[in-house]
Amino acid sequence: MKTKIVLAAIVALGSVICSSSMFANAFDDCLNAYTNRTAQCDTARQTRDDAAYAIYNPAFDAAESNYNTTLINDMITDTNAEHNCDLTLWGKIGDPTVEGDTGSCGATYSSHTNSIQTNYESDLGTCTNTYTDPTALAKCVCEKTAIRDYFLRSTEDGYWDCKQTAQNEHDNKCITDAKNVQTRDDLNALSLFWQQAGDAEATLQQSLKSSSWAWIQCDVYAYYSYANCTLRADCAANPPNCCQDNCSILYNGYVQGANTAYNSKVGPAEAQEVHDIVICNYTQTKDDYASYAAQGYILNQSTAKYNHDQMADYIDYVGAVNENNSDAQNTIDNCNCDELDPSVCVSNAMAIANAKNATATSNYLAKVNGPNDNPVGSNWSMWYQTTTNANEELQREYQQHAAAKTACVNSKQQTFQAILDSASTAYNTAMAAAEDKYESCLERSCWGG
């Protein structure tokens, strides 16, 4: 309370004394000095703040540049990986830019077809050399033709399987792997960006807060210098007031000391608190993106695997049906060679093929059925379980990050509050002592107590 009374008295006294032309210059000098000091405080603060931004801006720009560079490198890596996927595919099915290129699938198909035809021609020669009876010769040729046709169908089916499998590996594995890695690495780069940006932001805010406290301390010094200047001017102008003026000067010194002690403890502590809380917040963001990168990769890979397995099961299913139908046709062809009843032969062969195809269809649907089918497909069940686990894990990690940030912020606030409470107690004690010393000075020196 007395602080306000004394300082108010100083200001009022200065106003009265400044009205005297005899001592106006002295008070003008005090005011000019105060104005100059506060201007210097403002200039020094601006200089410190500018220096803080001069550190922050390049640091943030470097973080942003590192992030953009990583994105470019990730894109280049993905482009190269996808090109290698294309090369692998073209090696299987043929380069679309090269006329007549059928790749290794086509080469194998041609080789097998030629070999089958060569063997067939050799077999026909054997039949001719072995049988002279027209019926026996016809039966031999028929059987060899049935064998040839069976192998040709198998080769044709194998060629289709080879191309479809290569395309599936390209589309739903190789390409998606490359893209999913790029997405994951991009998110990890973003996580690192937030960490680096957070460090820069924390340093900036700490510097600005320290600068603010330094400005407060500078202003305190300027103010009390001005107050004491007016008290000395008053003493010079009114000698009877010197005793009380001198006590006020002593009192102001104690108050300034209390303020300086308080500021020197609280200022750095609050600046550190500001720094640490910024880090708490940015750490949550960084960790969230890192988790999203990891779990998102699992989600993307799970979807890619689902698509890949669906197509692979379709290819296997078509292959199984083609094989069953080819076996049936081979049986029918041999029946014709043996001149058996074609209706019975066809009926038996197709019955066997239909039974095998029904089993193949059942096995296929058990894998590829959707969630509303009965039974639910194993591919979908695996995808659903994997994605559910990944999403649940992602949410758990998000919650952990949020809890960690809250705990981090609370801890930093508690640390600062303890320093603030200690500094406030010390300040109040110092102010009480200053009040007592001021009263004692007045009583001892001015009032004859």
Helix (H) or strand (E) holding 52: helix 24-93
Query: In 3D, which of 276, 279, 274, 283 has the Cα closest to residue 401?
Result: 283
Residue 80 has pLDDT above 90, yes or no: yes
Between CA 296 and CA 399 the distance in angstroms is 16
Peptide bond into 134 cis (omega under 30): no
pLDDT of residue 426: 98
Q: Which of 229, 221, 255 is nearest to 41 (CA)?
A: 221
User: How many helices and strands, by DSSP H and E, does the chain display?
Assistant: 8, 0
Q: 445 or 15: which carries more pLDDT confidence? A: 445
Here the tokens at position 203 are 């340093």
By three-state DSSP, how is residue 276 classified? helix
How would you classify residue 339: left for phi > 0, otherwise alpha for psi between -120 and 50, otherwise beta?
A: left
Instruction: Render pLDDT for 203-232 as a digit per residue (tens, 0 to 9).
Output: 999 999 999 999 999 999 999 999 999 999
- Residue tagged 């680096």 (tokens): 196
How many Å separate Cα 422 from the centre of its chain?
Answer: 41
Say if residues 224 and 34 touch (Cβ distance below 8 Å).
Answer: no
Please say if the pLDDT value at position 3 is more than 70: no
- Band (pLDDT 50/70/90 cuts) for residue 10 is very low
Peptide bond into 375 cis (omega under 30): yes
Closest CA to 127 of 151, 148, 99: 148
Helix, strand or coil, per DSSP, at residue 449: coil
- In this structure, is residue 42 part of a structural domain? yes
- Residue 99 sits at φ, ψ, to 5 deg, of -65, 130
Are the C-beta atoms of residues 270 and 209 closer than 8 Å to each other?
yes
**143 located within any domain:** no
User: Does the pLDDT of residue 12 top 90, yes or no?
Assistant: no
Q: In the chain, how many domains are there? A: 1
In a domain, residue 229? The reply is: yes
Q: Give the residue from 350, 325, 331, 323 showing the smallest Cα distance to 154.
A: 323
Please report which confidence band the pLDDT of residue 294 belongs to, taking 50, 70 and 90 as the band edges: very high
In this predicted model, what pLDDT tens digit does every residue of 324-352 receive, in sequence order? Answer: 999 999 999 998 888 777 788 889 999 99
Position 5 pLDDT exceeds 50? no
Looking at residue 338, its pLDDT comes to 80
Task: Find the range with the poorest average confidence among 67-81, 232-246, 331-345.
Answer: 331-345
Tell me how far apart the alpha carbons of residues 2 and 248 are, in angstroms, rounded to a whole number: 11
Cα of 143 vs its chain's centroid, Å: 67
The answer to whether residue 93 is domain-embedded is yes
- Is residue 129 situated within a structural domain? no
Say how many Å lie between the first and final Cα of the chain, rounded.
22
For range 289-296, the mean pLDDT: 97
pLDDT at 26: 86
Q: Which of 279, 304, 227 is nearest to 30 (CA)?
A: 227
For residue 422, being part of any structural domain is answered with: yes
Which structural domain range is residue 314 located in? 2-97+159-446
pLDDT digits (tens, 9 = 90+) for 120-173: 999 999 999 999 999 999 999 999 999 999 999 999 999 999 999 999 999 999
Give the residue among 302, 301, 296, 295 at the shortest CA–CA distance from 380.
302
Per-position DSSP letters for 238-271, written without gaps between them: -GGGHHHHHHHHHHHHHHHHHHHHHHHHHHHHHH
pLDDT at 13 over 60: no
